[in-house]
Structure 1
């Protein structure tokens, strides 16, 4: 429970026994979020991605793999990205903190911020905490980063997915 408090989980999740159990389970053995979250909660969360998703990666990874990510790529909502950019004045160090990333993840010369429109996105899933890109010290159940930003998991392994980039 202390980790949920420290990472800013909302009250409903802090009181959810299934979410607390998922938090304490090791990566790779956490339950599907549908086992401890209501379908209404999940549907409302996924609906936040109706304006598409924003993905942070590097140009070198795009060049190496030819894609924006793997089958379990973490993304955030376009609307929340726009809000965070406005709130932080585009300060990438502050954006890293809000997203629950390690310092330096976005501030390299190689960073790419990509927007994938809804029609090109495919299925958005609620993160389970078992994904390869999970940072253990920051992950909390419920589809939000430790900074309170909505996140979803999308299959971005197809090299034909169109996207637009943001200059920073």
Structure 2
């Protein structure tokens, strides 16, 4: 039987496989990975990949520390439109213990989601487990943990950019080139000042931390 992606460009086929595979890792769906469907790939990303450049698999296989700049394989218009989703601010979810110990950054960067889209997702989630699944977090992430949000205003998004997969906080088990989680939630990266440290890596002084804390209510 003809595969639904047989006539698609190679980057769409490879991205579809990544979204399906990593989605299955986090129980996004139970479909067989060989039964691929192009709708697993956000349409802007399907159209925003430069032809005749790096393939998604090549980017992934380069490994953390060796992956290329996203501008090498993504159209400039796609990158701009993706980052425009963060114009009203960005948010990250932290375990309070980790935040207190190490501050809001990981090697002076952190992954963030658009605040408005994360708020909508939290309103729609029927349980903490469902929210964790949508965000690609480990099973039980919210169970028994002190969790907080940190909102970064538009003027605090220093160095806002597409993730390149070399960041300290990159999860090798689910990272996909192009700026989306396996569930289709957009993500980006911002810079965190070197002074934004915690008890275990330089001293606890939240006055140096960008962003504002907000309780997580589920």
CA distance in 1, matches of 2:168, 2:156: 23
* Distance in 2 (alpha carbons) for counterparts of 1:85 and 1:166: 12
- Runs of 5+ consecutive residues of structure 1 not aligned to the other structure: none
**Structure 2: segments with no counterpart, 5+ residues:** 1-13, 24-39, 197-207
Match of 1:69 in 2: 105
- Worse-matched range after superposition: 46-55 or 23-32: 23-32
1:26 pairs with 2:88 = no
Corresponding position: 1:10 with 2:42: yes
Alpha-carbon contact 1:60-1:110 (below 8 Å) kept: yes
Matched, 1:167 2:216: yes
Distance 2:191 2:143 in 1: 25
2:178 is aligned to 142
Q: Deviations over 1:33-70 (max 9, x none)?
A: 000001111111111111111111121122223x3223
1:13/1:141 contact within 8 Å kept: no
Pick the aligned partner of 2:135 from 78, 93, 99: 99
TM-score calculated relative to the size of structure 2 = 0.68
Q: In the alignment, what sits opposite 2:150?
A: 114
Contact 1:30 1:130 in 2 (8 A): yes
Larger Rg: 2
CA distance in 1 between partners of 2:154 and 2:144 (Å): 28
Q: Does the 8 Å CA contact 2:48/2:74 hold for their aligned counterparts? A: no
Of structures 1 and 2, the one with the larger relative CO (CA 8 A, separation 6+) is 1
Q: Calculate the TM-score normalised by the size of structure 1.
A: 0.86
Structure showing the higher helix proportion among its residues: 1
Aligned residues: 166
The two structures, once aligned, show a CA RMSD in angstroms of 2.2
- Map residues 20-59 of structure 1 onto 2, 5 A cutoff: 20=56, 21-59=58-96
Cα offsets for 1:120-151 (capped at 9, x unmatched): 22221100111121111211011011111000
